A and B are shown apart, each in its own frame.
Chain A
Amino acid sequence: MSSDPNDEAGTSPDHSPREIERLIEAVAQGDRNAERQFVERYQPRVRAMLLARTRNHELTADLVQDVMIEALCALRRSQLREASKLTPFVLGIARNLLNGHFRAASRQPDSLDLPDDLPDLNPAASRLEDEERESAAMHALSRLEPLDRSILRMTLVDGLKPGVIAQRLRLKPDVVRQRKLRATRRLIDFLDGRSQIASPVHIVTRQKQ
């Protein structure tokens, strides 16, 4: 069970193995609330993974839906029996769909079993959390030095290596690496501070109220 005191009625995205086992059983038995919990837990993880792999927000949004549908359909059919395998199971589906997409032979989710009563695959809580996180990120970025912002942009957005960034900014590659690490640390420190004010749990709780 999550140690978070705000974790009531399974709103926390973190679950113990026993809880996950119950979740899997409940989804197999058609419990809609369990399905919603499953989506709330895995949708952000799958999205983070697919976004890291594709760097494409629209493609990620499409693939996340496909992964969630395929995983839910498989769980409804009781295709997963071991709770400890849930994460590799979801990751496996995500990787398969991603590879299928890159091979230009993207599979559709099992449409024969596709039910009409799927839970919201992009829950409002998740959207709110994203907005909150992004707004905090913008604030954190505004506190960085312009040069550090440039280095982070070239790294995270343009995908450039330190050597290339160094040449463009007329710096030594070691300086770029140092500044990149320092800027990342400052960014995360700032966002960690913010996240204590507005954690996902708080957002979910607010949403429920």
Chain B
Amino acid sequence: MNACNGKPAELCALPYLEGALPEAEAERFEEHYFDCPACLAYLQNLQAASRGLERLPATPGEPRGMTLLGWPAMNWAMAVAAAILLLAAGVSYRALHSGLKAPQVAQVTPVPAPQAKPSPRPATAPVPRINPSQLADLSLPAFAAPTLRGASEDRQFESGMEAYKRGDCRDALADLSKVPSQSTDARAAEFYCAACEMHLGDLKAAAAGMHSVEDAGDSPQQESALYYEAQIALANNDLAAAHRYLIQTIALQGDLERDARNEDRKVRELANESADEGAEKPESGSQ
């Protein structure tokens, strides 16, 4: 009988289950818990919890759209924006089907996130059942600190991001656009500038900013930039470009891969519907 108090399991069980323990250590831990009831019980408890978690329904909002801790003001703003977008989507959808002209969302509501205008179509062109712009997610991306060093050394970036957290895109844009290109936060500043422009409805400038971030190569914002390029393309009713950017996002296999896959599926469905009605598919799109 060994006299272990379970410390090895406290240290190793979680990384062992995550597959994060180096192989040699994993084997040592296995040899230990085979002869240690305390550590075996610890491990079995974690495995039971894992089984329980598989069976429990996911927490609402998980994984995306989780409560933005510490950002109460933006929570409200984004919740209102989401509700208005949903309402607008519903109105547009009904209007499209009833043959009525969909009202311009910007004229009737103070929408924080712009609802993209449907592209002009010839009178004879068939109308897809859902407008691609309704798929576009133009909400402000949450601020993920670009480094773990804490506060930025760049004052403009700091104050810009403070404004960004408040949802004050104009102030954020004013400060972030002054971050010098030599700053370590320059890429992040460029990305959040583009996000602000997107939020304020300047989709052209936003697309250029996102493209610049994406084009700069490997950075913490590269995947997000591609994803939001897709959103802007959708807002512009450009299914082909949206498809292309989503495929590039998926290829990065990052955090947005699943969202990009889901959205790309919808884009392809939409493209197929359009094709059935005489419109072009993304593969043969306008790019």
User: Which residues of A are at the interface with B, using a C-beta cutoff of 8 A?
Assistant: 1-3, 13-14, 16, 42, 44-45, 48-49, 51-52, 57, 87-88, 90-91, 130, 133-134, 136-138, 140-141, 146-147, 149-150, 152-157, 159, 161, 164, 166-174, 180-181, 184, 187-188, 191-192, 195
Which residues of chain B in 61-83 are interfacial with respect to chain A, using CB atoms and an 8 Å cutoff? 62-64, 66-69
Would you call B17 and A52 a contact (CB within 8 A)?
yes
Question: Could you tell me the distance between the alpha carbons of A1 and B1 in the complex, rounded to whole angstroms?
Answer: 7
Q: Does B172 contact A (CB under 8 A)?
A: no
Give the shortest distance, in Å, between A127 (CB) and chain B (any CB).
13
Would you call B66 and A168 a contact (CB within 8 A)?
yes
Known: A87-B35, A149-B59, A150-B63. A172 touches B49 (CB 8 A): no
Q: Does B51 contact A (CB under 8 A)?
A: yes
Residues of A contacting B145 in the complex (Cβ-Cβ under 8 angstroms): 172
Chain B: CB-nearest residue to A201: B37
Tell me which of B19, B33, B37, B69 contacts A13 (CB under 8 A).
B37
> Main secondary structure on chain B at its contact with chain A?
helix
Question: Could you tell me the distance between the alpha carbons of A156 and B20 in the complex, rounded to whole angstroms?
Answer: 11
Question: What are 26 sample pairs from A and B whose C-beta atoms fall under 8 A apart?
Answer: A14-B1, A45-B40, A48-B40, A48-B47, A87-B31, A87-B35, A91-B27, A91-B30, A137-B52, A141-B53, A146-B59, A147-B59, A149-B56, A150-B62, A150-B66, A153-B56, A153-B58, A154-B62, A155-B14, A156-B50, A156-B53, A168-B64, A168-B66, A170-B144, A174-B148, A187-B46
Question: Could you tell me the distance between the alpha carbons of A170 and B144 in the complex, rounded to whole angstroms?
Answer: 7
Given contacts A149-B59, A167-B255, 6 further A-B contacts (CB under 8 A): A45-B33, A91-B27, A134-B52, A138-B52, A147-B59, A156-B53
For the complex of A and B, the 7 pairs showing the least CB-CB separation, nearest first, are: A137-B48, A156-B50, A168-B63, A133-B48, A170-B142, A137-B52, A153-B53
Would you call A159 and B50 a contact (CB within 8 A)?
no
Q: Does B42 contact A (CB under 8 A)?
A: yes
Give the shortest distance, in Å, between B58 (CB) and chain A (any CB).
7
